[in-house]
Chains A and B, each alone.
Chain A
Amino acid sequence: MKQNKLNTILHHFLNALIPIFFAFLIGAIAILVAGENPLETFYILFQRALFTERGLTRTLHYASPLILTGLAIGISFKAGLFNMGVEGQLLVGGFVVAVLGYTYSDLPSGVLVPMLLIAGILSGIMTAMIPALLKALFNVNELVVSLLMNYAIIHVLQYLTTNVFRDPSRGYVSTHMIGSSAILSRMFGTRITPFFFIALFVFLIMYIVFNHSKLGYEIRAIGKNLEFSEAVGMNVKKKILTIMTYSGALAGLGGAGWMMSDRYAYTLNFSGDPGLGWDGMLIALLGAHSPVGILVAAVFYGALKSGSQAIAIHTSVPQEIIAVIQSLLILFLSIKFLKESKVLERLTCRFLPKQAKEEEV
Chain B
Amino acid sequence: MDILRVLYDMLYYAGPILFCTLGGLFAYKVNVINIGLEGMMLFGGFIGALLIFYTGNYLLGLSGAVMLGVALGLLFSFFGITKKANFIITGFAINLLAVAIGYYTLALMGRTDINVIGEVRHMSLRLNIPVLRSIPVLGDVFSGHSILTYVAFLSIFIVHFVMYHTKFGVYVRVAGESPEAAEAVGINIHKIKYAAIIVGGFLCALAGVNVAVEQIAAYTPQITAGTGFIAIAAIYCAAGSPMKSSGYAILFGLMQALARNLAVVIGGIAGLLNVIPYLTVIVVLSIIAINRYRKTNIRGYAHD
Contacts and interface: CB of A to CB of B under 8 A. Distances in A.
Contacts of B88: 82, 143
B289 A324 contact: no
Contact of B103 (A139, A148, A323): A323
Given A139-B293, A147-B229, A323 B286 contact: no
Nearest to B274: A155
B271 A163 contact: yes
B104 A331 contact: no
B286 A134 contact: yes
Contacts of A149: 278, 282
Contacts of B243: none
- Interface size grouping (class) on chain A: 35 or more
Contact of A328 (B35, B89, B97): B97
B97 A331 contact: yes
B100 A274 contact: yes
Residue in A82, A324, A334 with the greatest tally of chain B CB atoms within 10 Å: A334
Nearest to A135: B289
A322 to B, nearest CB: 8
A330 B35 CA distance: 14
B93 interface: yes
Nearest to B103: A320
A274 B87 contact: no
Contacts of B84: 335-336
A335 B286 CA distance: 32
Contact of A320 (B107, B271, B272, B278): B107
Contact of B229 (A144, A163, A327, A330): A144
A156 B101 contact: no
A138 B289 contact: yes
Contacts of A134: 286, 289
Interface residues of B, number: 45
Contacts of B233: 144, 148
B285 A331 contact: no
Give the secondary structure class of A's interface.
helix
Given A148-B226, A148-B281, A163-B271, A326 B289 contact: no
Contacts of A163: 268-269, 271
A320 B104 contact: yes
A159 B88 CA distance: 31
A88 B5 CA distance: 33
A274 B99 contact: yes
B108 A318 contact: yes
B108 A159 contact: no
B248 to A, nearest CB: 12
A278 interface: yes
Interface in A280-324: 281, 285, 318-321, 323-324
A162 interface: yes
Given A34-B108, A139-B289, A144-B232, A323 B96 contact: yes
Contacts of B232: 144
A43 interface: no
A145 interface: yes
A326 B271 CA distance: 31
Interface in A129-169: 134, 138-141, 143-145, 147-149, 151-152, 155-156, 158-159, 162-163
A331 B79 contact: yes
A138 B290 contact: yes
A33 B104 CA distance: 11
Contact of B100 (A33, A159, A326): A326
Nearest to B289: A140
A159 B103 contact: no
Contacts of A182: none
21 contacts: A134-B289, A138-B293, A140-B285, A143-B35, A143-B88, A144-B232, A144-B236, A147-B229, A149-B278, A156-B272, A163-B268, A273-B99, A318-B108, A320-B107, A323-B103, A331-B79, A333-B93, A334-B93, A335-B79, A336-B84, A336-B85
Interface of B: 35, 79, 83-90, 92-94, 96-97, 99-101, 103-104, 106-108, 225-226, 229-230, 232-233, 236, 268-269, 271-272, 274-275, 278-279, 281-282, 285-286, 289-290, 293
